[in-house]
Amino acid sequence: MKIVSIFVLLLSILLPTQVMAQESSVQIRMITSQGDIELTLDPVNAPVTVENFLAYVDSGFYEGLTFHRVIPNFMIQGGGFDADLKRQDTRPAIANESTNGLSNRRGSIAMARTNDPDSATSQFFINVGNNQNLDGHPLRAGYAVFGEVTAGLDVVFGIARVPTRSRGGHQNVPITPIIIEKVERITPTD
């Protein structure tokens, strides 16, 4: 009986810790035509943004879309258009979490939006440079960071250097489309 009680006690201590560890970050693999990018998302500091991004990931929304805006030393943006620059239908916009303490530094991933701070849907960008000027402040909304690149930063930098042109009313469009082939969660055994 004592062994069972000790086991139950240990389980009650360890189980919440495991659950908390699982919820403190989410691992993502983005397979692109230029190579793989692995991301660690931060649901603790950006819960609304991470939940929104994962809804798109889990539905397969990003498959076949492109990085449609690429600016060297600034960022690469994707998640809204296919190779023909056809805008995709999205879920409703989310609240802006740009004052969450995460910064638009090199290698971070953030939500793209319009001038309306609460307009982010599916589009995201990966910072190629340190862009703290995009961070939110109490008096000004910024762009919500929700994770960072943990592998494949060389792929991000490679995408940032591809030749671009203006096309279909868009600027900085890669001449050869950079396709997002798949975005998936990575389990600890992957």
pLDDT at residue number 2: 55
How far from each other are the two terminal CA atoms of the chain, in whole angstroms? Answer: 39
Cβ-based neighbours of 77, under 8 Å, separated by 6 or more: 67, 68, 69, 70, 112, 123, 124, 125
Predicted model pTM: 0.87
pLDDT at residue number 188: 73
Three-state secondary structure along 61-128? Answer: CCCCEEEEEEECCCEEEEEEEECCCCECCCCCCECCCCCCCCCCCCCEEEECCCCCCCCECCCEEEEC
pLDDT at residue number 9: 43
pLDDT at residue number 96: 98
Q: What is the mean pLDDT of each run of 10 residues along the chain (190 residues)?
A: 47 45 82 98 98 98 98 98 96 97 98 97 98 95 98 98 96 98 87
